[in-house]
Amino acid sequence: MTLALGRSAGTSGRVTQAARADVRLPAPSSTAAPVPAGVQVRAAGMTPWATPPDAFYRIDTALVVPQVDPSTWQLRVHGLVEQEVTLTWDELLASPLEEAWVTLCCVSNPVGGDLVGNQRWLGLPVRRLLARARPTAGADMVLSTSADGWTASTPLTALTDDRAALLAVAMDGAPLPVEHGFPVRLVVPGLYGYVSATKWVVDLEVTRFADATAYWTDRGWSAQGPVKTQSRIDVPREGALVPAGDVTVAGVAWAQHRGVTGVQVRVDDGPWHDTTLADDGGIDTWRQWSWTWAAERGDHVLRVRASDPSGPQTGAVQDVVPDGATGYDELRVSVT
């Protein structure tokens, strides 16, 4: 596969930042659904439901952030298609762009980790672009390539079904920050970023899993990476000292493109207790929860588990390799 990378990857940071400052985003043809008022649990120390862009996690293989000038950016769609398509920046901005709230998660996020964030994205649904190219029978994967040569293998079905898989140009109502993929990145609900969230994307090759591999699959990770249902305790913190009596326990849970149906908390080896779910911001976003614990003096261990439509998340402990960690988030607190 031949890529014209030099003209974009070598663009200076000054030129790229100036180009970003000049971007005038079009009004979306479809706006994101209004966010319910109760998505945020009101407890000291809780994670914001909407992750500020400057706090959104980053996992890059590039030693230097690629600098891509949108005036020269192009996206090539080719491979097992009936019609090759080349998309320019101006054509992309002139397309009907849609908004969606989507939670992204890194496959290297440990149980209880913070390599996960939720934001409002604006972009072109990838299914529309692929419909123009018309993938041929037998194709089951799209190999996306970044301006720096990084690749990801995404199931074709995840880019052609009704989920909000986007060629994103904006987050939080502004052009993508350079470190988050300006001018264009992929956002695909329900998949870990290593198989979906290509930043500075310049190439989409429609192919087959049997015929092509990507950056991380060449290094021992699974070819397909559906996000696993997970939950996390944010309040109280590990090792906290809390007074006896009513204590707020709260956190977040995620099961992108399936939805969180419930969250339970366990104290020591006791029974699982149902928590109160915050309002639902959408099937592709995380969900906050809270529970009032009648805390008794002593040292205790708190554990959490979330459920999706298939049932509770697994408590079996697995490392992040090859397709994401599993197990219950837990923390120790002392009640005085």
Give the tokens for residue 28: 């979306």
pLDDT for res 235: 98
pLDDT for res 105: 98
pLDDT for res 13: 85
pLDDT for res 179: 96
Looking at the chain, the whole-number percentage of residues with pLDDT higher than 70 is 97
pLDDT for res 1: 29
Domain boundaries, the chain: 6-219, 230-335
pLDDT for res 2: 30
pLDDT for res 9: 44
Give the tokens for residue 205: 């090759």
Give the tokens for residue 102: 């989507």
Q: 294 with 244: CB under 8 angstroms?
A: no
Query: Rounded to two decimals, what is the model's pTM?
Result: 0.94
pLDDT for res 4: 34
What is the CATH T-level fold of the domain 230-335, as seen in this structure?
Answer: Immunoglobulin-like (2.60.40)
List pLDDT tens digits, range 144-203: 999 999 999 999 999 999 999 999 999 999 999 999 999 999 999 999 999 999 999 999
- Alpha-helical segments (H) within the chain: 6-9, 13-22, 89-93, 126-133, 156-160
pLDDT for res 149: 96
Residues of the chain with pLDDT under 70: 1-11
- Residue 135 DSSP symbol: B
- Domains 6-219 and 230-335 alike in fold: no
- In CATH, the number for domain 6-219 is 3.90.420.10
List pLDDT tens digits, range 56-95: 999 988 889 999 999 999 999 999 999 999 999 999 999 9
Distance CA 164, CA 168 (A): 10
Q: How many CB atoms lie within 10 A of CB 249?
A: 24
pLDDT for res 32: 96
